[in-house]
Chain A
Amino acid sequence: MTRPLEGLRVVDFTWVRAGPWAARWLALLGADVIKVEWPDPAIGGSTGRVVRDVPGMGSTPDGIPRSMNSDGHFNDMHAMKRSVTMNLRSPLGLDLAKKLISQADIVIENFSAGVLKSWGLSFPEMQALKPDIIYVSMAGYGHTGPRAHFQTMGPSVQALSGLTYISGVPDKPPAGWGWSYMDDTGGMYGAIGAMTALQHRTRTGEGQHVDLSQVAAAMTLLGPALIDLTVNGRGSRREGFPPGDRSVWPGTPKVNNYRGPICAPHNSYRALGGGHNDWVAIVCQTDAQWQKLKQAMGNPAWADARFDTLDGRLDHQEEMDEHIQAWAEHTEKYALTDMLQTAGVPAMAVQSSEDRVEHDPQLRARGMYEEASHPILGSWPIQHAPWQMSKTPTPVDRGAPICGEHNIEILCGMLGLTRDEVREGYANNTLWPKSVPVEPYLIEALETEKVG
C-alpha cells in the first residue's frame, strides 16, 4: 500500500517535543524521515532518549530495564522514523549530514536560532548542497527579529503569546494550559510549513526557508480576541474575562468571549464518583436545547419561565448552574453524556488520558490506539492518525527506531562509508559518543547486516 509522501526524504535534526512531533506526521504519511541522533548524556541527552534515573521520570514500562531504548514517550513520538547516529560537532559527522541533506527534500529542526548556522548548515549552505531544499526551522522566537536569541519552552511560548492569559476564571491567576500545547500545535505548524512549502516546490521547483516562530504560531490561536482589540478597542483585561468554562461569566457584561456563540448553560458539572475527572460539560446553544435539557432533568419546578430565554438564563446563571449541578452529581459522566446526547443536548464527559485509551468508544472504533511493535519494548498501543485516507492509508505499523538502528543502511548504503570506517567512528566519538558503551546491536549489525 502506498503512502502519500512516499519518495520524499526528511532529515530530522529535531529534539525535545515540538520538532519530533512535526516530523512524526511526515513519517506516518510515508516520507523517509531520518532522525539524526547523538545520544551523549553530557549534552543533556539531546535526543530525548537518555532519561535521568529519577523515580517517576520517563516512561519505561515496568519490567523492562531502563535504557536509551526503553522510553514509552519516545516510542510514540518518533514512530515510523529511521535512526542514524553522528556527531555533528565533528568534521566527519558534519560531512555526513551534508551528504544526507544533498539527498533530502526537507530539513527540519527546532534548535535555538543560530545553532545550525554555527555548524555550517545555514539555509544558503543547504541550498548549495540541494538547490530545492525545504528548510523548516522551529525556534521559539524564530530566526529573525530583535529577540531571536530568546529561549523558550512550551509554557513560556504559551505565556508570551496570550494563550495562557485566555485560560482561567476571573479574579484568579491564569489557569493556563496543563501541558505544552504549543509543543503539540507548534509541531502541527512545523508540519504545515513543510507541506505548504512542498506544494510550492511541486509546482515551481523552488525550495525555501520556513522560519517558524512558536510564539507567533501561538499568537494566531487566540480566536478573534486580537481583532476585537484592534477593531473595537475591547481589550482582554476586562471584567469577566476569561470566563472559565462559561460563555459569559455570571454578573458580567454579555459580550462574546471568543469561543463561539454566547449561550447558557455552558459549563462543567461534577458527576457521580467524586474523582478528579468525574465531570461533564453541558452546553445549550438554543432555547430548544434548553427545553430538552429541562425535560431530561424531569422538568423540575425551579426551571421556570425565567430560564426560557438566553437573556434569562444568563441573568440567573448562578442559580441555574447550582440546580444543574445538584442534578448532575447523581449520575456517572458517560451515562450523563449518552442520556443528554440522546435527548438532543450537547454534552460530553471530561476525559482523562485513561478515559481516552480505556473508555472512549469512538476512539476505539477509529482504531486510534492499535498496537505497533518496537524492537525492545514489544507491542504497545500507539497514537494513530486522526485521518483516514481512502487511497493512501497511513497506519502506524512500527514504533520508534532504537538508537542507530539504521546506521548500516544509511551510513554505508546511502552515504558511502565502509564498515571499517563505521567501526572506527564508533570508537573515536564521531559516530557514537565515547562516554556511552557501544550497544551490542550496533556491533552485530556492523558484522552481519547486508547493505542495500
Chain B
Amino acid sequence: MTTQQSAAAGSLAGVRVLELSNSIGQWCGKLMADFGADVVKIEPPAGVAERQIGPFYKDVEDPNRSLYFWHYNTSKKSVTLDLTQEEGRELFRRLARTADVILETMPPGALAALGLGYESLAAENPGLIMCSLTDFGQEGPWAGYQMTDMLHLAAGGQMAACGYDEVDDPERRPIAPGGGNGYHMGAHYAYIATMAALYYRSVSGEGQHLDVSAHDSAALTTEMHVPNWIYTHQVVQRQTGRHAGVRPTAPSQIPTGDGRYVNMGGGLSSSFRAFVEVMAEAGQAGDLEDFKYLDPEVMQANTDHIRGQIAAFVKTVPAEVSFVAAQEIAGMPWGVVRAPDDLLEDVHFRERGFFIDVEHPELGETFTYPGAGAVFSATPQNIYRRAPLIGEDNADVLGSVGIDAARLAQLRAAGVV
C-alpha cells in the first residue's frame, strides 16, 4: 500500500483535531490522523520535545529527523505557536473555534492557567470536545508525579508480570517490556472516549471535557490479574516467556534447532495427535503414538509429559518448520518468536497491505512504515503524509483563520510562530 493524497477517504474525514500533546498522547493523535481526521499539532516554535528523541535518520540528530517523531506523528499537520505570548494564545483560540476536538496532555491546570481551559474555549465553541489525557488524570494524590513510559509499566502492573523463571534470573527482576507501550494504553482509551463523545455530540449537539488517565488505563491492562486479586486474593509471579502464574506452570517458550524460540501457546487438545505424525516421520515421536493418549483423560493426566516430548522435538528443528506444521497440520495456536526484523518478509501481512510506503519528498526517499491493525472495507486507515516538519503547515492552517503572508512574517519575526 502507498500513501494517498487526501484524507477525505478516511473514517474521520471532516473532523478537525488540535493536538497539544507530548509522548502521552501522540499515539492517539496519530490514530486519528491516519483514520482521516485533520489533526493539527500545535508545537512551540522550536518544535516539541519528542523531536529530540532518537533514533534519528542516518543517526544525525535534528528535530526533523527523529524516527520517534516520524512514527508517532504521521498524517498530522504542524503549526508552531508560542503559547507563552498573548498573540500565540489568541491564535490558538482562533483555531479552537474551528476544532471539533482538542487533544491535550499538559499537566493538570496548565491550559487553564494560560486562559485556554475547556470552559473558556467551549464558551466560543459549544460543540467542542476536549480530551485531556494525562499521567494520572486531573486530580488525585499522584496527579503531580513525574512519569515516563517505564514508570507507567511499574505502576500499571506490567512490570510485576513480566520477567523470568529462577533458572533464567535468580533475582526474578521485574522487566519493563519495550516499544513505548506504557503510553499506548492510555492513548487507546483516550481515542475510544473521544469517539464516544463525538457520537454523543452528533445526537445531542453537546461537546464535553474528557479527563483520561494513562495510569488508570495501564492498571486496566493486565488481563485477569486484578480480578484474580479481587475474587481469590491471588497474586501472580513472573515466569520466562509465558503467563505469570499464581503457581508455577511448565515452560511454553521453547528454543528451536535454529537458535530461535517457538511459543507453544494454549493448552493441549486432541489435535496434538496430528502433530505427533510429523514427529514420527522424523523418528522422534517417543511414546506419543501410543493409543492410550487418545483417551482425553489419559491425555490430560499426561499433559506435561506430552508437551515435554513435543518440546524435545521442537528443539531439533527450525522454528518456522515446527510452527507451520503445528498450525497447518494440527491447528495448534503456536507462534514463532519473531524479531521486528522478521516481519517485513511476512507474505500474509504484505498481502493484507499492512506495510505502507511513505514518501519523504524533502529527502527524496520513500520508507516503509507499519500500517493498520484492521482492514476497513469502506474507509481504510492509511498514512496520508509523513510526519510534518516543524511549522510546515503554518501558512495553510493559519491562513485559514485569517493570517495572511505579511502578518505571518510579522508573527514569525516576533517569535510567536
Contacts and interface: CB of A to CB of B under 8 A. Distances in A.
Contacts of B253: 159, 164, 173-174, 176
A174 B336 CA distance: 12
Interface string A244-281: 11000000000111111110001010100000110111
B372 A366 contact: no
Contacts of B230: 72, 76, 357, 369, 380-382
Contacts of A352: 157, 160, 225, 229, 235-236
Contacts of A150: 327, 333
B384 interface: no
Contacts of A380: 230-231
Interface stretch (B84-92, B198-206, B409-417): B198-206
A88 to B, nearest CB: 21
Given A175-B175, A223-B178, A210 B150 contact: no
Interface string B343-382: 1100111011010000000000001111111111111010
Given A261-B53, A356-B226, A276 B237 contact: yes
Interface string B291-323: 000000000000000000000000000000000
A144 B159 contact: no
Interface stretch (A35-43, A340-348, A427-435, A440-448): A340-348
A193 interface: yes
Interface stretch (A92-100, A231-239, A300-308, A312-320): A231-239
A353 B229 contact: yes
Greatest chain A CB density within 10 A among B23, B173, B375 is at B375
A209 interface: yes
B54 interface: yes
B196 A4 contact: yes
Contacts of B178: 166-167, 222-223, 225, 242-243, 257-259
Interface in A1-34: 2, 4-5, 7-8, 17, 25, 29
Given A4-B200, A162-B342, A73 B224 contact: yes
A390 B210 contact: yes
B117 interface: no
A184 B223 contact: yes
B378 A258 contact: no
B219 A356 contact: yes
B271 to A, nearest CB: 9
Contacts, number: 563
B341 A191 contact: no
Interface residues of A, number: 162
Interface string B163-180: 110001101111111111
Given A144-B352, A200-B379, A387 B209 contact: no
Contacts of A220: 370-373
A365 B144 CA distance: 14
Contacts of B59: 232, 255
A216 B376 CA distance: 13
Contact of A348 (B154, B236, B369): B154
A172 B219 contact: no
A147 B371 CA distance: 18
Contact of B376 (A161, A208, A219, A354): A208
A180 interface: yes
A140 interface: yes
Contact of B195 (A72, A153, A199, A212): A199
B208 interface: yes
Nearest to A44: B269
Interface in A127-169: 140-142, 144-148, 150-169
B369 A154 contact: no
Contacts of A243: 178
A450 interface: no
Nearest to A59: B231
B338 interface: yes
B35 A196 contact: yes
Contacts of B247: 56
Contact of A203 (B14, B145, B179, B344): B14
B358 to A, nearest CB: 9
Contacts of A193: 373-374, 376
A332 interface: no
Contacts of A403: none
A290 interface: no
B340 A259 contact: no
5 contacts: A4-B196, A175-B240, A202-B198, A216-B372, A368-B216
